[in-house]
Amino acid sequence: MINRLNLKAWLLLLPALSLLIAFTHWPTLKSFWRSFTWARSDVAPSQFVGLDNYRIMLDDPVFWKVIENNFWYALGTVPTSIGLAIMMALWVNSKIRCTSLLRLAFFTPTILPMITVANIWLFFYSPNIGLFNQLLGLVGIAGPNWLGDPDLALSSLMVMTIWKEAGFFMIFYLAALQTLSPELFDAAKLEGANAWRIFRKITFPLLMPTTLFVLINALLNAFKLVDHLFILTKGGPNNASNLLLYYIYETAFSFLDSYYAATLTVVMLLTLALIALVQILVIDRRIHYR
């Protein structure tokens, strides 16, 4: 039943809700439907083809390649950037001089847009004039073609991603560390715990809520953030550094196959929904210790 009070609430929700529906939920449903249809050309009427698009997808070696790449990309960037973030946060939270400068230094990569970062790193990675190879040249090593070598391209992207993400996650850890009472650490020190034991038994468990929040965000970013591919590798060479979202973009706007792109999008959405679901169902329940 919609009574007067309810109606008012719905009216207040209407602007946000209509935007969400128009630009998020409706396109999602549209993509979902589109993934079951196909048309010979843009002008031809689309027809229902059932699971044909999905069958094509399962037979598509590039799809499997980008899934595999995305898996390694997530595995390579997420734990490392979280680990680095904790270390940096512990460092800039300690009683050393110039902590504000250090914090700023660590946070700078986060302020920069991904496209800018990619352009900076394009210079680092360039085969002949690039910073890395010039430095290697100084000690007499001929540097590899970081972005052009299929064996190195994805790893090179990962290094850059870690560089960009760690500073961002550090801010969350720093905020969490500053809410912890210093007396806890005094007590632990008095009880004879060494630095490693304090970290393992006190600091890390108390940072768990932050870690799980950061973990989810890092995982989502590993799928969502592909801006740097446009600048650095365009997914190449030979899809060696291609990721799912970039492949969707290519399929839709370079190969102009919006039906197959919709199919890939559904896979992407399901993956992201699964990650979000894990957060809501499992993690939220387990991390609260108060």
Partner 1 sequence: MLKVEEISRKYGELTVVDKLSFSVNQGEFVALLGPSGCGKSTSLKMIAGLETPDAGSIELEGRNITRLSPGERKLAMVFQSYALFPHLKVEDNILFGLQARKVPKGEQKKRLDSVVDLVGLGDHLQKKPGQLSGGQCQRVALARAIVAEAKLCLMDEPLSNLDAKLRNEMRTEIRALQQRLGMSVIYVTHDQVEAMSMADRIVLMNNGKVEQIDVPEALYNNPKTIFTAQFIGSPPMNIIKSGSENLGIRPEHIEISEQGMPATILSCDYHGADTIVLADISGQGEDQKLVKIRYPGHALFASDQNISISWAPQNEHRFPL
Interface with partner 1 (CB under 8 A): 181, 183-184, 186-194, 197, 201-202, 205-206, 208, 289-290
Shortest Å distance, C-beta 278 to partner 1: 21
Give every CB contact of residue 4 below 8 A, 6+ residues apart in sequence.
Answer: none
| CA dihedral of 149, 153, 156, 158, whole degrees rounded to 10 | -160
Shortest Å distance, C-beta 183 to partner 1: 4
In 3D, which of 174, 175, 183 has the Cα closest to residue 202?
183
151 versus 183: smaller Cβ distance to partner 1:
183
48 versus 196: smaller Cβ distance to partner 1:
196
24 versus 194: smaller Cβ distance to partner 1:
194
Shortest Å distance, C-beta 189 to partner 1: 4
Shortest Å distance, C-beta 84 to partner 1: 24
Shortest Å distance, C-beta 202 to partner 1: 6
198 versus 216: smaller Cβ distance to partner 1:
198
40 versus 288: smaller Cβ distance to partner 1:
288
Shortest Å distance, C-beta 283 to partner 1: 15
30 versus 189: smaller Cβ distance to partner 1:
189
**How remote is the C-alpha of 204 from its chain's centroid?**
23
Q: Which structure tokens are listed for 92?
A: 């800039």
SS (H, E, C) 144-201: CCCCCCCCCHHHHHHHHHHHHHHHHHHHHHHHHHHHCCHHHHHHHHHCCCCHHHHHHH
Residue 37, helix vs strand vs coil: strand
Shortest Å distance, C-beta 218 to partner 1: 23
| CA dihedral of 285, 288, 289, 290, whole degrees rounded to 10 | -120
193 versus 216: smaller Cβ distance to partner 1:
193
* CA distances from residue 158 to 72, 130, 248, 290 in whole angstroms, order as listed: 9, 18, 20, 36
68 versus 186: smaller Cβ distance to partner 1:
186
Sign, Cα dihedral of 36, 41, 46, 52: negative
Q: Which structure tokens are listed for 189?
A: 């020190």
Asked if 143 and 133 touch (Cβ cutoff 8 Å), the reply is yes
Shortest Å distance, C-beta 289 to partner 1: 4
